Amino acid sequence: MSTDIKKKPFSEVIRGETPVLVDFYADWCAPCRMMPPILKELKQNMGNSLNIIKIDTEKNPDVAIRYQVRGIPNLILFKEGNVLWQQAGVIPAQQLQAIITQKLAEYEQSK
């Protein structure tokens, strides 16, 4: 993740042109620890066409509550401030990439 994204407020990051995949997690969550290598592979495959950020639900409960994150890990795909997809659980990188590609295509068609 680029450092300029880290300096922006969350609401501004998710409103951008570039889609953003947000990984809601907690340090104590065992399945959450499976996500970093999956997200790294996803970022390598998708490059700059996707931003990926991680949000610790323990340190940012207000954001987790706002997006009704009830189970973790929880992934939410945003584009231009819109939630395109949300799912809890560990998802393999290839499946995740296919879902993201499909949801972005559906979003572009609906505009």
pLDDT recorded at residue 6 = 61
* H runs (alpha helix) in 1-111: 3-7, 10-13, 35-46, 61-66, 93-110
Examine the pLDDT at 56 and tell me if it is beyond 90. yes
How many domains would you assign to the chain? 1
What pLDDT, on the 0 to 100 scale, is given for residue 21?
A: 98
Quote the pLDDT of residue 8: 83
Domain membership of residue 3 (yes or no) is no
Asked, for residue 97, whether it belongs to a domain, the answer is: yes
In a domain, 64, yes or no: yes
Residue span of the structural domain in which 36 resides: 13-110
Q: Is the pLDDT of residue 22 over 90?
A: yes
Peptide bond into 36 cis (omega under 30): no
The answer to whether position 69 is within a domain reads yes
Active site residues: 29, 32
Those residues whose C-beta lies under 8 Å from the C-beta of residue 99, and which sit 6 or more positions away, are 77, 85, 87, 91
Is 1 domain-assigned? no
pLDDT on residue 3: 40
Which CATH number do you get for residue 51? 3.40.30.10
**5 within some domain:** no
Residue 87 has pLDDT above 80, yes or no: yes
| Average pLDDT score, the chain | 93
The answer as to whether 58 is a domain residue is yes
